[in-house]
Amino acid sequence: MKKRGKGLASAFYPTGMGGGGDFTNAMVKIKPDGSADLITGTVELGQGSGTVLPMMVAEILGLDYEKVRYSHSDTDTAAICFGTFASRVTFYAGNAVVKAAKKALEVMFKLAAPDLGVEPDRLEAADGKIRVKNQPDKFLTMGDVAMKGFYETHEFVVGTATYGRPKAIPDPDTGACDPLATVAWASVEIEVEVDTDTGEITILDSKSVYDVGKAINPEMARSQVEGGAIMGMSWAVLENLYPNYPDPKHQPRDFSQYMLTTAMDIPELTTEMVECPSTDGPFGAKGIGEMTANPPGPAVVSAVHDAIGVWITDIPITPEKVLRALEEKEKADALTS
């Protein structure tokens, strides 16, 4: 017999190191061709920093995204980043590159102001130009301004910045402290079908709602949520590095032996974004990278309980575990009837 059930799990997740102390440095340089270099030690691991950080710089500078070159060379020469971990890059590195881009703008405004006949605070950046506010026809291109800096005033048109949080030291009397930069929230609902004859679990549907603060790149944020959902569901019903833990016997040695979700196993995925801006995040952004894999597992466990009336909290929930749990339930029901 096949039975269906739905499960719900909610989660919250901090951004960056709990307790503070981590930081990121960034440099933004404007070149005579009107393009910009973003230089930071932040590593692109596939999480999207190579896209979202240049997007932030482009937004501040009023440039097309394609005009911003992302350089993250080795740690000996690049601006230092504390690391790509703890779902911190969009928040911490993002704040650093935004500050650096604004400082680069200040240099350009100072250089352009005499030629445009106004004070620097009367200028703005848009469409690759430094122009007078409310007078868009009165402008210099960014390339012209950078050229002036290089060849006339001999100024390096660059902005540098650091973003981090001081260490959160608990109050010795009360223990109170402020350990978290910001917190993101999520809720996931999953529907499963359980075959009570074979113990097989089929995940039918996954619905995710995430508070992302601000989705800098909505499609990438959605893909990250969906990737995490697939990973979490895979942990819940398939993946097991130590099937006989703590005995290491029969441990998988490669991906031909390790069970993973494939494209054939992915259910219907629905993802919704809620933008509740962080007061300190760049453009209000929060970090959601790691947390996307956390709620799906508990939601699957809850859905299996809804379907067959037993709690199986030792994941992955294999067919053997399902059948043993149903046997135990049948015995218990017989004793109480």
Instruction: Determine phi and psi for 129, rounding to 5 degrees.
Output: -130, 155
DSSP secondary structure, 154-193, as one string: ----EEEEEEE----PPPTTT------S-EEEEEEEEEEE
Catalytic: 290?
Answer: yes
Query: What secondary structure letter does DSSP report for 52?
Result: H
The tokens for 300 are 């699957």
d(C-alpha 143, C-alpha 35), whole Å: 7
206 closest CA partner among 284, 271, 292: 271
The pairing of beta strand 135-141 with beta strand 129-132: antiparallel
Candidates 44, 290, 327, 330; catalytic one: 290
Cα→Cα distances 167→80, 172, 179, 285, Å: 18, 14, 8, 21
Distance of CA 62 to the CA centre of its chain: 24
Separation of alpha carbons 210 and 271, rounded Å: 8
Phi, psi of 17 (to 5 degrees): -70, 125
Residues taking part in catalysis: 290
